[in-house]
């Protein structure tokens, strides 16, 4: 079968889409196809790659609007998924493009510095005794150590697409979660403070990062772990954490979420006052009743007991 | 066809029209819904950020009640679907965690343990898997109605947990729109996030995407947007005026709950489907 790759080209500030035809042979990955095009059809096509074994993370691109690690995804899989013989290949999203499919990682590395991305070892560790930890403690963060910095997560991040200046890339949250979970680090609060200041609570929870990660690291889950750590380390004092706690408390108090109070509980009375026009609009259509009292679940004492016991065990 | 129904909080509050229309439509289709007695909020993806274990136990409780009913669980909210399925996936794959959570349930006095025997599904998936429920029921084919299907994140991502259709190229919504006689409109933003869960923390970005989704669907030729998620519906409908302002757009399109669109095809009226409770473009629902 012959497929057409419509590749987004960018050279010296000139943009165009160039079509290449290539025959799908058994085991042909996106990366193999790019190499074949470069070798046999167009030596000017530029892309990055190295290990061809899903280890280095250098070859991620977007195909039909979704990031893929080019060395591990078969063209045949994509043809079947999209039911088409025309595939659109672009550089990763939410990156500055240098040339063709090559993106600029320097701003990303610069951004990563915001979380102080290295282990700050506890004072008890010495050259002589080493920097040991138990297997149980290692298991808490070992998943996050598998990040290959391919950029697939941030490519699809809905928040970053709208405004990346007040938000971290998902792989940076993964790095931060690793440090906050690492028992050898002495500055969990400092890493967490950095992450909160860099936009932890602005995540849309769109799950694109988790869906896109070729290593199955669950960056969205890492963000949740960091949020949870803000409560455990008593650093939860923002609109985002107020909002999460308000919903948690609603479940504890009645079993149900009470939308009518969320704005006040999350933002406080003064900010909530600016929402009066919206509240009026919602009251007019019957969507909001400020005087309605949420019914209390008949099993509320058991529900509270579940939360109390779990919260105690979760500490 | 009978399900343990998990309505979710918003269907009991701001999106009451989604509940009323769901009841009417499911009855007309012969789908029996038995509300899970004394269910609680799923955590809405936010309470999980306070204590994951607490919310795992809370959702284990929700699921265990349905297991005791001997019925699969049906939701009609994407976020409820993901929270319940995420809890189920974690409890099913980790024996120690399951034992810990069951011990919490037992200590609390909850009468049933979590067993992992109840399927968790969404209304859209049930209809996609069982198109035969529509046989002879479509009284008002939605011919010439152009509808943009907006999936909502928590029904398509992450694939590993949801495990229904390919989240990068889902088709269930378009297939259903076609089955009702309408024309599905493809648009660039159909798999994007509406931003609902970050409304309080990233308001400008959220309102911008709210405006862009409606604008993009309208530019593609859609007369209306339909979504299987009441949270997306609320975001796109309730905050449309601010979304238009953020994007300098004048586009106003009705945002329908999935069950409302189906209801029109089954012959229900706008009043019966609760269109009067919509904030945006209710007068443009001309089916």
Question: Which of the pair, A269 or B209, is modelled with greater confidence?
Answer: B209
pLDDT score for A10? 98
- Closest to B44 measured CA to CA, from A257, A255, A274, A152: A257
By Cβ distance, the residue of B39, B49, B154 closest to A244 is B49
Please tell me whether residues A185 and A206 are part of one structural domain.
yes
Q: B25-41, pLDDT tens digit by residue?
A: 999 999 999 999 999 99
DSSP H or E run through A63: strand A60-63
Chains A and B form CB pairs within 8 A to the count of 207
* Residue A273 clears pLDDT 90, i.e. is over it: no
Surface of A (107-136) touching B: CB under 8 A: none
pLDDT at A310 over 80: yes
Q: State which of A187, A206, A232 marks the end of a domain.
A: A232
Tens digits of per-residue pLDDT, A178-199? 999 999 999 999 999 999 999 9
> CA A207 to CA A198: how far, in whole Å?
19
Q: B194: buried, middle or exposed (CB in 10 Å: 19+, 13-18, 0-12)?
A: buried
Determine the Cα–Cα distance for residues A151 and A149; give it in Å rounded to an integer: 6
> Do A218 and A269 reside in the same domain of the chain?
no
Number of domains forming the structure of chain A:
3
Contact A163 B100 (CB under 8 A): no
From B6, B257, B232, select the one nearest A204 (Cα to Cα).
B232
| Candidates B102, B166, B200, B229, partner chain A, best to mutate (most A CBs within 10 A) | B200
Question: Do A13 and A38 sit in the same domain of this protein?
Answer: yes
Q: Which of residues 30-69 of A touch B (CB under 8 A)?
A: 64-66
- From chain B residues 78-97, the ones with a CB under 8 A of any chain A CB are 82
Pick from B44, B57, B238: CB nearest A257: B44
Percent of chain B with pLDDT over 90: 98
What does the pLDDT read at residue B272? Answer: 97
**Rg (Cα) of chain A, in Å, rounded?**
24
What span, in angstroms and rounded, lies between the C-alpha atoms of A189 and A180? 8
3-class SS of residue A279: helix
Query: Which tokens is A79 given?
Result: 């043809």
Do A270 and A152 lie in one domain? The reply is: no
Q: Distances from the Cα of B110 to the Cαs of A91, B102, B106, in angstroms?
A: 52, 9, 6
pLDDT value, residue B199 = 96
Identify which of B57, B22, B58 has the alpha carbon closest to the alpha carbon of residue B40: B58
pLDDT in tens, A10-53: 999 999 999 999 999 999 999 999 999 999 999 999 999 999 99
Strand partners, A17: A8
Chain A residue numbers touching B108 (CB-CB < 8 A):
302-303, 305-306, 309
Q: How far apart are CA A64 and CA A307, in angstroms?
A: 44
Residue A134 shares a structural domain with residue A194: yes
pLDDT at A103: 98
pLDDT at A101: 98
Single out the residue of B273, B270, B272, B267 nearest to residue B283, CA to CA: B270
Q: What is the mean pLDDT of residues B254-279?
A: 97
Say yes or no to pLDDT of A315 above 80.
no
Task: Tell me the two tokens of residue B29.
Answer: 């289709």
Beta bridge partners of A275: none
Pairwise pLDDT comparison (A202 vs A259), residue with the higher score: A202
Q: What is the mean pLDDT of residues B54-63?
A: 98
The string of pLDDT tens digits covering residues A57-115 is 999 999 999 999 999 999 999 999 999 999 999 999 999 999 999 999 999 999 999 99
Same domain, yes or no: A281 and A306? yes
Delineate the domains of chain B, giving CATH numbers in brackets: 2-122 (1.20.1050.140), 130-284 (3.40.50.11810)
Average pLDDT value for residue range B60-84: 98
Whether this prediction's pTM lies above 0.90 is answered by yes
Residue among A166, A210, A251 whose CB faces B40 most closely: A251
Query: Given this model, what pLDDT does residue B145 score?
Result: 97
Residue B7 has pLDDT above 80, yes or no: yes
| Chain A environment of B105 (Cβ under 8 Å) | 306
Which of residues B234 and A261 earns the better pLDDT score? Answer: B234
pLDDT tens digits, one per residue of B167-190: 999 999 999 999 999 999 999 999
Residue B116 has what pLDDT? 97
| Residue B47 contacts A, CB cutoff 8 Å | yes
pLDDT of residue A269: 85
Contacts of B51 in chain A (CB under 8 A): 228, 231, 248, 307, 310-311, 314
| A98 and A112 part of one domain | no
Out of A166-175, A261-270, B85-94, B205-214, pick the least confident. A261-270
pLDDT band for position A263 (50/70/90)? confident
> At which of A169, A199, A232 does a domain end?
A232
What pLDDT does residue A271 have? 86
The residue segments making up the domain with residue A120 are 106-232
Q: Are A130 and A219 part of one and the same domain?
A: yes
pLDDT > 70: percent of chain B: 100
DSSP track, chain B: -EEEEE--GGGGTTTHHHHHHHHHHHHHTT-EEEEPTT-----TTTGGGT-HHHHHHHHHHHHHHHHHHT--EEES-HHHHHHHHHHHHHHHH-HHHHHHHHHHHHHHT-S----S-S-EEEHHHHHHH-GGGGTTT-SS--TT-EEEE---GGGTS-HHHH-SS-TTS--HHHHHHHHTT-EEE--TTTTS---GGGTTTSHHHHHHHHHHHHHHHHHTT-SEEEES-HHHHHHHHHTHHHHHHHHT------EEEHHHHHHHHHT--TTTTTGGG-SS-GGG---
Domain end marker among A214, A232, A250: A232
Residue with tokens 């699921």: B63
b/e string for B236-266 if b means 16 or more Cβ within 10 A?
bbbbbbbbbebbebebbbbbbbbbbbbbbbb
State the pLDDT at residue B67: 98
Q: Is B170 near chain A, with CB under 8 Å?
A: no
* Radius of gyration, CA atoms only, chain B: 19
Whole-number pLDDT of residue B277? 95
Cα distance between residue B153 and residue B193, in whole Å: 6
pLDDT of residue B106: 98
CA A43 to CA A36: how far, in whole Å? 10
Domain CATH number, residue A118: 1.10.1060.10
Whether A118 and A205 map to the same domain: the answer is yes
Do residue A113 and residue A91 come from a single domain? Answer: no
- Cα–Cα dist A146/A174, whole Å: 10
Q: What is the DSSP letter of A47?
A: -
List, in order, residues 6 or more apart from B269 with CB less than 8 Å away.
none
Do A55 and A99 have their domain in common?
yes
- Partners of residue B205 in chain A, C-beta under 8 Å: 159, 162-163, 202
Q: What CATH number does residue A97 fall under?
A: 3.10.20.30
């Amino acid at each position: 079968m012959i497929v057409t790759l419509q590749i987004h080209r960018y050279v010296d500030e000139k943009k165009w889409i160039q079509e290449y035809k290539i025959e799908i042979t058994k085991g042909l990955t996106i990366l193999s196809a790019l190499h074949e095009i470069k070798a046999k059809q167009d030596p000017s096509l530029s892309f990055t790659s190295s290990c061809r074994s899903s280890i280095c993370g250098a070859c991620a691109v977007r195909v039909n609007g979704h990031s893929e690690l080019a060395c591990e995804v078969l063209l045949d899989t994509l043809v079947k998924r999209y039911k088409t013989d025309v595939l659109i290949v672009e550089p990763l999203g939410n990156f500055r493009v240098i040339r063709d499919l090559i993106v600029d990682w320097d701003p990303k590395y610069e951004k990563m510095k915001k979380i102080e991305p290295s282990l700050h070892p506890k004072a008890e560790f010495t050259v002589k005794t080493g920097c040991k930890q138990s297997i149980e403690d290692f298991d808490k963060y070992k998943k996050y150590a598998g990040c290959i910095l391919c950029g697939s997560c941030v490519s699809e991040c809905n928040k970053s697409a709208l405004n990346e200046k007040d938000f971290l890339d998902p792989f940076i949250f993964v790095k931060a979660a690793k440090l906050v979970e690492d028992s050898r680090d002495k500055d969990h609060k400092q890493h967490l403070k950095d992450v909160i200041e860099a936009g932890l609570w602005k995540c849309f929870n769109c799950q694109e990062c988790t869906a896109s990660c070729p290593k199955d690291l669950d960056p969205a889950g890492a963000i949740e772990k960091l949020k949870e750590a803000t409560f455990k380390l008593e650093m939860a004092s923002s609109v985002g954490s107020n909002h999460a706690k308000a919903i948690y408390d609603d479940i504890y108090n009645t079993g149900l979420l009470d939308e009518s109070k969320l704005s006040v509980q999350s933002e406080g009375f003064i900010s909530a006052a600016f929402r009066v026009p919206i509240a009026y609009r919602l009251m007019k259509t019957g969507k909001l009743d400020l005087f309605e009292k949420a019914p209390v679940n008949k099993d509320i004492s058991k529900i509270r007991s579940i939360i109390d016991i779990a919260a105690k065990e979760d500490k | 066809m009978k399900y343990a129904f998990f309505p979710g909080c918003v269907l009991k509050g701001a999106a009451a029209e989604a509940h009323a229309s769901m009841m009417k439509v499911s009855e007309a289709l012969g789908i029996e819904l038995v509300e899970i007695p004394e269910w609680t909020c799923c955590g809405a993806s936010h309470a999980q950020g306070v204590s994951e274990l607490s919310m795992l136990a809370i959702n284990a409780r929700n699921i265990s009640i349905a297991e005791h009913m001997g019925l699969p669980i049906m939701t009609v909210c994407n976020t409820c679907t993901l929270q319940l399925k995420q809890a189920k996936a974690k409890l099913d794959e980790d024996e120690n965690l399951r034992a810990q959570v069951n011990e919490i349930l037992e200590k609390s006095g909850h009468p049933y343990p979590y067993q992992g025997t109840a399927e968790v599904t969404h209304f859209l998936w049930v209809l996609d898997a069982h198109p035969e429920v529509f046989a002879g029921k479509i009284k008002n084919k939605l011919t010439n109605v152009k509808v943009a299907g907006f999936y909502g994140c928590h029904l398509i991502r992450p694939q590993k947990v949801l495990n229904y259709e390919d989240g990068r190229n889902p088709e269930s919504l378009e297939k259903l729109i076609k089955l009702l006689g309408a024309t599905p409109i493809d648009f660039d933003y159909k798999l994007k996030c509406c931003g609902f869960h970050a409304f309080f923390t990233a308001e400008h970005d959220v309102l911008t995407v709210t405006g862009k989704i409606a604008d993009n669907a309208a530019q593609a030729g859609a007369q209306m947007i339909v979504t299987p998620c009441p949270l997306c519906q609320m975001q796109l409908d309730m905050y449309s005026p601010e979304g238009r302002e953020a994007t300098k757009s004048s586009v106003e399109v009705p945002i329908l709950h999935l069950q409302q669109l189906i209801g029109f095809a089954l012959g229900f009226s706008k009043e019966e489907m609760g269109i009067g409770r919509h904030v945006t473009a209710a007068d443009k629902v001309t089916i």
